[in-house]
Amino acid sequence: MNSEVAQCMLCPRPSTEEMSRKFHFQACGSLYSSRKGQRLLILMAEGERDKNPLKALESIGKDVLTGFLDNLVKKDVLKLEESEKKKFNDAKPGDKAWVLVDAVRQKRHKVGQVLVQTFLNMDTNSTPTEEVAEPAESAQTTGTLKLCPHEEFLKLHKQMAEEIYPIKEKLGRTRLALIICNREFDHLQVREGAELDITRMTELLVGLDYNVIVEEKLTAKEMELVLEAFAARPEHRSSDSTFLVFMSHGILDGICGTQHSDEKPDVLPYDTIFRIFNNRNCLSLKDKPKVIIVQACRGANCGELWVSDSPAPMADNSSQPPENLEDDAVYKAHVEKDFIAFCSSTPHNVSWRDRNRGSLFITQLITCFQKYSWRCHLEEVFRKVQLSFEKPHVRAQMPTTERVSLSRYFYLFPGN
């Protein structure tokens, strides 16, 4: 087979023997593990010399090859450009193979490996490459919420009736969710990209069958009034849960209002949120899950390539925590129940936001809800969000759950 190495159709035309051999064994090495693969490479090599690949592959089956090539392009396995697809579709049957080979050469070993694996389907134990693998249970590829089959809903609802929060019948259910987002401030930087977070969180919650109320540009006092009015909504009586989403600049103790400054703080304390919705002050949501999601910094940062949700950028010194580290560990006696708070970062640390794509935390949160909420309870979905942040990339942050008083598993069962 040595004479065929430099002329394999799956490889680029060699500029040097060493370069061709290196690419050849990356893209086509697995072919030599079977007689079928060796025969195929010999035929393809002969086709290279004869300048007629279809004739060289007639023994394998012209119809099979043509169908295979058409299927590769139709399913976008090779991730061809639109111009390449058009060139392939417009080509005569005898020329289609060469059109595809040219595209393979340009895309180098990634496409070569995909083509080899797809054609022979030889390594059944290996994991498909990320470029062509479509997650079996993922809605991420379509950007939509994966729904829970009604049969699964009934099965789990019966098996775990005593362990999960009751779900009200969809007909007559009046779920409410509240989003409070501060984007512009009197003394702080604009939170660019926050409008994307509002749009995507609204779409997610609507998909989960919540009527969403969005409030923007509020002071701390105005946020408190909005929360009190929301807690008093009569719809909660015929609901089974609620979501409260806060997106703003933040400090350790709470969420910044639009008038916040170092000289004159304007902060909604986290305790105020729990107090308004606890069992003493919001009976309509008693024994029902109350999910609080916070996209805000909880400490100082140094903003560089990303935009940080903290009002006062300063030097980052992770080896020496601020002196008030103990403050976050001191809480009032809990009187609330059925709460869970999911914050975008740990105490004293920052949360990052891309100006063009929105918050990293909100983006991953939505993705995990879309993929997993159909079969996972809420805390498991949150754990998957945390897992996605386990290995820091450009900037590090670790979402955290706090003040969890859920006594049961909370399944959303989207679509039911």
**Catalytic member of 24, 109, 236, 249:** 249
Which pair of tokens denotes residue 58? Answer: 């007639």
For residue 24, give the 3-state DSSP assignment.
helix
Which pair of tokens denotes residue 205? Answer: 């919650």
**Catalytic member of 297, 343, 368, 376:** 297
φ/ψ bin of 146: left (φ > 0), alpha (ψ from -120 to 50), beta (otherwise): beta
- Is residue 348 part of the annotated active site? The answer reads no
d(CA 173, CA 296): 31
Stretch (H or E) spanning 96: helix 93-120
**Nearest to 277, CA basis, from 338, 218, 205:** 338
* CB of 344 closer than 8 Å to CB of 296: yes
- Is residue 368 part of the annotated active site? The answer reads no
Which pair of tokens denotes residue 250? Answer: 């933040």
For residue 401, give the 3-state DSSP assignment.
strand
* CB of 340 closer than 8 Å to CB of 378: yes
DSSP 382-399: HHHHHHHTSS--SS----
d(CA 292, CA 246): 8
* CB of 206 closer than 8 Å to CB of 182: no
**Nearest to 217, CA basis, from 272, 273, 266, 251:** 266
- Measured CA to CA in angstroms, residue 398 lies from 164, 252, 325, 352, 367 at distances of 27, 15, 17, 11, 16
**Nearest to 24, CA basis, from 40, 39, 41, 36:** 41
Rounded to 5 degrees, what are φ and ψ at 85?
A: -60, -45
DSSP 192-248: TTHHHHHHHHHHHHHHTT-EEEEEES--HHHHHHHHHHHHT-GGGGG-S-EEEEEES
Positions annotated as catalytic residues are 249, 297
